[in-house]
A and B are shown apart, each in its own frame.
Chain A
Amino acid sequence: MQLAKVIGTVVATIKDQALTGLKILLIQPLTDDMKPSGGPIAAIDTVRAGQGDLVHWITAREAALALPEPFAPVDAAITGIVDNVDSDHKVGIKDKAEIFDNTDATDEN
Chain B
Amino acid sequence: MILARVKGNVVATIKYPCYAGHIILIVQPIDEHGKDKGDSFLACDAAQAGPGDVVLVEREGNTARQLLGTPDDPFHSVIVAIVDKVIVKE
Contacts and interface: CB of A to CB of B under 8 A. Distances in A.
A99 B55 CA distance: 11
A1 B87 contact: no
Interface residues of B, number: 44
B52 A58 contact: no
Given A46-B16, A84-B10, A79 B74 contact: yes
Interface of B: 5, 7-16, 19, 24, 26, 28, 30, 32-34, 39-44, 51-54, 61, 64-65, 72-77, 83-88
A87 B12 contact: no
A59 B64 CA distance: 13
Contact of A70 (B15, B28, B72, B76): B72
24 contacts: A1-B44, A3-B42, A31-B41, A32-B7, A32-B40, A56-B10, A58-B75, A58-B77, A59-B76, A79-B74, A80-B15, A80-B19, A81-B12, A81-B14, A83-B11, A85-B11, A85-B26, A86-B11, A93-B30, A96-B34, A99-B84, A100-B33, A100-B34, A103-B34
